[in-house]
Structure 1
Amino acid sequence: MLGIVILNYNTAKLTADCINSIMNTYKGAFKIYIVDGGSTDDSVIILEDAYRESEIIKIIQLNKNYGFSYGNNRGAEIAIKEGCRKILITNSDIIFYENAIENLILTFEKYESTALVFPCVYNTGDILQSVDIVIKKRSWLDILIYENIFSKFVPKAIKKRTRRPVEECMEETQSFYFEGCCFLVDSIKFCEVDMLDENIFLYGEESILSEKIIRKNYKMYYIPDSKVLHLKGASSEGITRAERSYICLKSKLYFWYKYKKFPKILDWITVKAGLLILRVRYRKIEGITQLHYRYKIELLSYMEELHKQKRILI
């Protein structure tokens, strides 16, 4: 049976739309686990009223928002205990198209070593969310070159060594990175890699899980015939764009140091540069000076704390 985990935080309408799209497009056996991360609105009441009579939808309430990884892990744990052999983890702002889930599941039958598969993700306006599929394992140097605001200036001849334009991937393609908004995992293999790293509150979870799966010699695949719509950012409303950027930088810092062996001096330079870029980018936002100062102190303190810890060797 398939277990579907949806993390809800003040997004009852989005969650209901996501569930409707699943029910309208997937004909197999499944159970849905809605994990509410301490919503501050009437989300839980709305969802309980809507699905009170359902035997395939369970609502799990957390007492506060512990973040993406924590919430999804709790839902996945319950799904696995109830016999789900595959776990679909999806944002509440995802809409599934016809056969999207079936096409993801079929890949596991083709390749025994598959641990994770992910769909072709569109944003509103029929725009592809991903530009490239990562076709080789990422080194810390690759991340430094390709995953920043200057990556668009990297010559195509160099870029194609590690990445392939998503529009060229017409068949299932082995990937070394996936889209975190929607993905399907094998339950046993997901447990073997210790699920999602709960030290990350938001953003960067896919980088860490990708790294753990690769180090176990399991495989991930991009499935172009599985299509979903991502109402990008709608599931994280309530967090300003500026705050999301600072949180993202903190998550990247954790990943760089703990999993990719970034040199400590490079951590320091990258964080300093990132803070400067964010300060300039959001300079016109009211209250940005106080926000920037708070996150600057937090990030530099967090970096010092990380550098005292051992790196994660898997």
Structure 2
Amino acid sequence: MTAWAELAPGDVSVIVPHYGDPALAEVLVDELRGQPGGADLEIIVVDDCSPEPFPPSTAARVFRRARNGGFGSAVNSGVALATKRLLLILNSDLVLPPSFVENLLRAAAPWQPAVAGPALVDLHGTAQMSGRHFPRTSHYAVEWLRPLARWRNRSALHEAVGHDTRCVPGTTAVTDWLVGAALLVPTELYREVGGLDERFFMYCEETDLQRKLRDHGIPSVYLGDVTVAHEGGASSDSGRRLSWLLTSRFLYARTWGTGAGSMRVALVAASLVNFAFGGLRRLLGKPEQPMTTLRRELSTVHDSAREAKRRSARPRTNVTKQVQP
């Protein structure tokens, strides 16, 4: 028997970042309190300087940041307040099934210490492929190619863009990294590696964290017998999300030496293929504007690469150095 043999809600600090409409986060907090053992959870809602503040609550501790810093900053601020030995990091746009926390802890216990996460599905029950391979330039280039979009649900294409196709509901697998919408992480280990790197405003911060933990011998485990519904993209528009995503991918490549320059070349090449594809569709009478699309794609690639270079000059954030609020 190890110290991790039995886990209970009283071992868990739940961190819920909030930005935007507080209704989703309020529902999530109520769902957490309604879980078996929910009264024992330490629930911390971090308001990331939202235009619509999270209201005072008797069900959770609410901490409002002085400025908006993104997902990593919000989570780190919550971890600075956490007192339990496990962190359960949850997006506010989750819909929790009954007994979710107990089921997740039961499934995760044999693997501890580890990063553990449930199967994520959309609101219609479709799996979101939340187990991933560590990123490669080829993943991003294939994902950028519009001509392949019609085959995006095929297994080979899922693998080609970095999805670990072993990770489907009903299975358990050790994978490279898990999407950060719902993650269970030992608190001490999270702090030991410095937490989420706040240079990533949004996206890739959980990949970076799990790569740091993997270097310390800590695996990431997909627990497909536990499922949670995830709406996704509830607090931002698609244009900003694409910019944040690409900037974070370039920053990740710079941080881990996986080829930011080659990534830029590959995305430009993929954009040219998209241009040719759009031109052909226009000749066939489809409503395409290939030159406008090409300019937009190239601008996004180059602007994101420059912003990532700027951010990479900053020191990594270390959550252990944050002052307890």
Q: TM-score range by the shorter chain?
A: 0.7 to 0.9
Give the equivalent residue in structure 2 for 1:16. 26
| CA–CA separation in structure 2 for the residues paired with 1:243 and 1:84 | 34
| CA–CA separation in structure 2 for the residues paired with 1:289 and 1:171 | 41
| CA–CA separation in structure 2 for the residues paired with 1:222 and 1:40 | 35
1:32 to partner: Cα distance:
0.8
Give the equivalent residue in structure 2 for 1:129. 128
Give the equivalent residue in structure 1 for 2:265. 269
Give the equivalent residue in structure 2 for 1:298. 303
C-alpha change, 1:66 and 1:199, in structure 2 (3 Å) is same
C-alpha change, 1:3 and 1:274, in structure 2 (3 Å) is farther
1:247 to partner: Cα distance:
1.4
Give the equivalent residue in structure 2 for 1:64. 67
Aligned amino acid, residue 93 of structure 2: D
Give the equivalent residue in structure 2 for 1:166. 167
Aligned amino acid, residue 170 of structure 1: G
Give the equivalent residue in structure 2 for 1:214. 214
1:279-298 equivalences in 2 (<5 Å): 295=300, 298=303
Contact 1:8 1:39 in 2 (8 A): yes
C-alpha change, 1:109 and 1:271, in structure 2 (3 Å) is same
**Equivalent residue of 1:3, what SS?**
strand
Counterpart of 2:237 (choices 231, 235, 240) is 240
1:300 to partner: Cα distance:
4.2
**Equivalent residue of 2:165, what SS?**
strand
Give the equivalent residue in structure 2 for 1:251. 248
Contact 1:120 1:222 in 2 (8 A): yes
Contact 2:86 2:185 in 1 (8 A): yes
Counterpart of 1:31 (choices 21, 26, 42) is 42
- Over aligned residues, Cα RMSD in angstroms? 3.7
Aligned amino acid, residue 59 of structure 1: V
| CA–CA separation in structure 2 for the residues paired with 1:278 and 1:246 | 18
1:256 to partner: Cα distance:
1.4
Unaligned runs of 5+ in 2: 1-10, 279-287, 317-325
**Equivalent residue of 2:226, what SS?**
strand
1:63 to partner: Cα distance:
1.8
Percent identical across equivalent pairs?
Answer: 18
1:184 to partner: Cα distance:
0.9
Unaligned runs of 5+ in 1: none
Contact 1:117 1:223 in 2 (8 A): yes
C-alpha change, 1:310 and 1:229, in structure 2 (3 Å) is closer
1:228 to partner: Cα distance:
1.1
| CA–CA separation in structure 2 for the residues paired with 1:273 and 1:88 | 40
| CA–CA separation in structure 2 for the residues paired with 1:251 and 1:70 | 14
1:67 to partner: Cα distance:
0.3
Contact 1:275 1:296 in 2 (8 A): no
**Equivalent residue of 1:166, what SS?**
coil
| CA–CA separation in structure 1 for the residues paired with 2:91 and 2:158 | 33
C-alpha change, 1:26 and 1:276, in structure 2 (3 Å) is farther
| Deviates most, 101-110 or 217-226 | 101-110
1:88-99 equivalences in 2 (<5 Å): 88-99=88-99
Q: Which structure shows the bigger proportion of residues in strand conformation?
A: 1
Q: What is the TM-score normalised by the length of structure 1?
A: 0.77
Contact 2:117 2:184 in 1 (8 A): yes
Contact 2:16 2:91 in 1 (8 A): yes
Q: What is the TM-score normalised by the length of structure 2?
A: 0.75
1:64 to partner: Cα distance:
2.1
1:230 to partner: Cα distance:
0.9
Contact 1:170 1:224 in 2 (8 A): yes
